[in-house]
Structure 1
Amino acid sequence: MTHEELAALPTTTTIETAARALGLGRTRAYQLAREDLFPCKVIRIGTTYRVVTADLLRLMSSNSSA
């Protein structure tokens, strides 16, 4: 995903979208979220996982400048 696509996301996004942006597979993303190891803040609402877009953007920005 481009920075522009990420910036256009709502306040929270699905874990699948975040995984795609990070180059992770869906199964691995859910595994990391369940183990509290996902690299961005994850909010669990019932059985749904949402990723805070600002954290995702911050992570992507720090990775691109490294």
Structure 2
Amino acid sequence: MPRRKWTAYNYGIQRIAEKISAKCRMELPPMPESATAFSLEKIDTPTMDLPDACVAFGISRSYGYELAKRGEFPARVIKLGTRYRVVTSSVREVLGQQGTGPGGAAA
């Protein structure tokens, strides 16, 4: 099979592809710190979602579910049907943070 020559048609397609890829490389505005910061003080419920606890521990969501399934998650996990809930006070204990529990009582 002979090798294709670079014709004006092929060159035109290459230029269009370069222009599209250049437009796709736009810079995104910086995210506000409040969008990326996680604070246990904002959580006043007795339990939290597993993904929120994963953010607090700095692990990925999929690895958190894997640990919960094996019973090795760093905090106490309660399985309710197909859902996993993490006890907020146990997350605070593991992370060494004092916070207020439900109703304003110290946890």
CA distance in 1, matches of 2:41, 2:49: 14
CA distance in 1, matches of 2:95, 2:42: 14
Unaligned runs of 5+ in 2: 1-37, 98-107
Q: Specify the alignment match of 2:52 in structure 1.
A: 17
The partner residue of 1:7 within 41, 44, 51 is 41
Confirm or deny: 8 A CA contact 1:7 1:57 kept in the other structure.
Answer: no
Which structure is larger by alpha-carbon Rg, 1 or 2? 2
Higher RCO structure (Cα 8 Å, ≥6 apart): 1
When the two structures are superposed, what TM-score results if normalisation uses the length of structure 1?
0.84
Confirm or deny: 8 A CA contact 1:40 1:52 kept in the other structure.
Answer: yes
Question: Which consecutive aligned stretches of 4+ in structure 1 deviate over 4 angstroms post-superposition?
Answer: none
Confirm or deny: 8 A CA contact 1:18 1:56 kept in the other structure.
Answer: yes
CA distance in 2, matches of 1:7, 1:51: 15
When the two structures are superposed, what TM-score results if normalisation uses the length of structure 2?
0.53
Q: Report sequence identity in percent.
A: 34
1:33 has 2:74 as partner: no
For residues 12-58 of structure 1, the C-alpha deviation after alignment (integer angstroms, 9 at most, x for no partner) is 00000000000000000000000000010000000000000000000
1:53 has 2:88 as partner: yes
